[in-house]
Amino acid sequence: MSKSCAVIAGDIGGTNARVQLLWYSYNQTLPTPSITFITRQTYRTSTFTGLNAILKRFLNDIQNEEQQEDVLDSIRNKNIRVVLAVCGPVWNNLRSTDAHNIRMLSDGAGWAIQHADTIENDLQLKSNSVIFLNDIEAIGYCLAAQVDSQAHELCQSTKTFVLHEVLTEDSTDTKTPVACLAAGTGLGACFLTPDNFGRYQVYSSVAGMVDTFSPQNEEEWFLLKYLRRNQSFIEIEQIVSGPGFVTMLQFYSEYLNQPLTTKLANDLQQVSHDDAPAIISQHACDYNDALCLRVIDTFLDVFGRVLGTAAQTFLPYRGLYITGGILPKLAWRWKNNRNNLLLKSYLDQGSKMSEVVARVPLTLIDDDDLGLKGCLYYMTIHND
């Protein structure tokens, strides 16, 4: 028995919405489905009021493109499956998601609660054709595909960089967990454990929202006090995230009594809040800006400690993975650098636990499409 349909996979982040169309054919006599990439679009999330608006725009755009007749027929007949990776918690059997506490619009506001049945009604899709995955959970499914010999190649990523290699049996043990931290607009996390058949099951986490910043010097105590001016509970993602760059730049300017350079101030005024972290990184790299360099180094130092904590929490001897858009863009600061603050902080977990963390491989995956690939892999293993 075989079946075919159009598939829309989407990774809807706080900054960008990446959406792609694929043609999916499944035959029960074959170990892997046939998947063909058709087209994709990237939109600015803040210009939309919800998921249905993004999907409407995408469906309109792809029908204006030249497509194969069977693909167009499938779209016209609503023979479509939609798997979306979204910010925020997902519940109601993967049919509801809430991003009201996440910056989704240009004024900093979030979206209303999104329901799959509402989207299906608005777009006249078949019942139960839309499901949601947490965005980091979707990344986890891409990691699961990495160790599934039957996973389709479009579900896998090859853009990896090993930061800490472990040459022991622990790193290849298929019975041990995998974990992932993703630093981008926020700090997300997930972990994976193998089932009785060796296939990894994915579990989402909100580890980035815990209050775990532990100052290690006077400067960091002042940073903590600065963050607590407006709230008492300080999520670690207030430092380990893109928006954390902006917060730390403001802190260091005040703490060091050093105003921003005219060029930095002007460049920041010309961009949105979402693009400000890239400007800070650029001024650190290209102009050796002292304040921006402090921001970058503090980020790497604290992120390394957070990774070390994750290694102790999950004991992911099969691998601890770093994803998200920030770290690859900072390679100029940590790659081929003997004083790699991130790796140094990762491995320095005190006299009791440093040896344990040293047994956990640490790998960076530089791939903006992990969420899309994870959505696709999820669908291939839930093709009923």
pLDDT of 173 reads 64
Work out the pLDDT band at 105, boundaries 50, 70, 90.
Answer: low
DSSP secondary structure string for all residues of 251-268? HHHHHTT-PPPHHHHHHH
Nearest to 136 by CA among 188, 171, 175: 188
pLDDT of 56 reads 94
Distances (CA, A) of 336 to 4, 5, 339: 47, 46, 9
Query: Strand ranges (DSSP E) for the chain?
Result: 2-12, 16-27, 34-44, 80-86, 90-91, 96-97, 114-115, 130-134, 160-164, 178-183, 187-194, 200-205, 319-323, 362-365
Position of tokens 């979306």? 84
Residue 100 pLDDT > 80 = no
Rounded Cα distance between 283 and 321, Å, is 28
Instruction: Quote the percentage of the chain above a pLDDT of 90.
Output: 66
Residue, of 181 and 198, whose pLDDT is higher: 181
- Other beta carbons within 10 angstroms of residue 293's beta carbon come to 17
Contact 52, 122 (CB under 8 A): yes
DSSP letter (8 states) at residue 185:
S
Tell me the torsion sign for CA atoms 82, 87, 93, 96.
Answer: negative
Residue 32 pLDDT > 80 = no
Q: Per residue in 217-272, pLDDT tens?
A: 999 999 999 999 988 999 999 999 999 999 999 999 999 999 999 999 999 999 98
Q: Per residue in 107-133, pLDDT tens?
A: 667 788 889 999 999 999 999 999 999
Tell me the torsion sign for CA atoms 80, 83, 89, 92.
Answer: positive
Mean pLDDT, residues 289-301: 98
DSSP secondary structure string for all residues of 223-289? HHHHHTTT-S---GGGTSSHHHHHHHHHHHHHHTT-PPPHHHHHHHHTS-GGGHHHHHHHHHHHS--
- What rounded mean pLDDT belongs to the chain? 90
Position of tokens 């440093």? 354
Q: Pairing state of beta strands 319-323 and 2-12?
A: unpaired
For residue 253, what are the contacts with CB-CB under 8 A and spacing of at least 6? 259, 260, 291
Rounded Cα distance between 49 and 181, Å, is 28
Residue, of 96 and 354, whose pLDDT is higher: 354
Contact 193, 177 (CB under 8 A): yes
Nearest to 278 by CA among 19, 16, 11: 16
For residue 270, what are the contacts with CB-CB under 8 A and spacing of at least 6? none
Work out the pLDDT band at 377, boundaries 50, 70, 90.
Answer: very high
For residue 186, what are the contacts with CB-CB under 8 A and spacing of at least 6? 14, 87, 102, 208, 237, 241, 243
Nearest to 347 by CA among 190, 214, 160, 164: 164
Work out the pLDDT band at 199, boundaries 50, 70, 90.
Answer: confident
Given this structure, which CATH class describes domain 209-365? alpha beta
pLDDT of 101 reads 60
In the chain, what are the domain boundaries? 2-138, 209-365
Instruction: Note the CATH number of domain 2-138.
Output: 3.30.420.40
Rounded Cα distance between 378 and 7, Å, is 12
Work out the pLDDT band at 351, boundaries 50, 70, 90.
Answer: very high
Residue 172 pLDDT > 90 = no
Work out the pLDDT band at 274, boundaries 50, 70, 90.
Answer: confident
Instruction: Quote the percentage of the chain above a pLDDT of 70.
Output: 94
Mean pLDDT, residues 295-320: 97
Distances (CA, A) of 79 to 247, 296, 381: 46, 47, 19
Q: Per residue in 328-344, pLDDT tens?
A: 999 999 987 888 999 99
Work out the pLDDT band at 353, boundaries 50, 70, 90.
Answer: very high
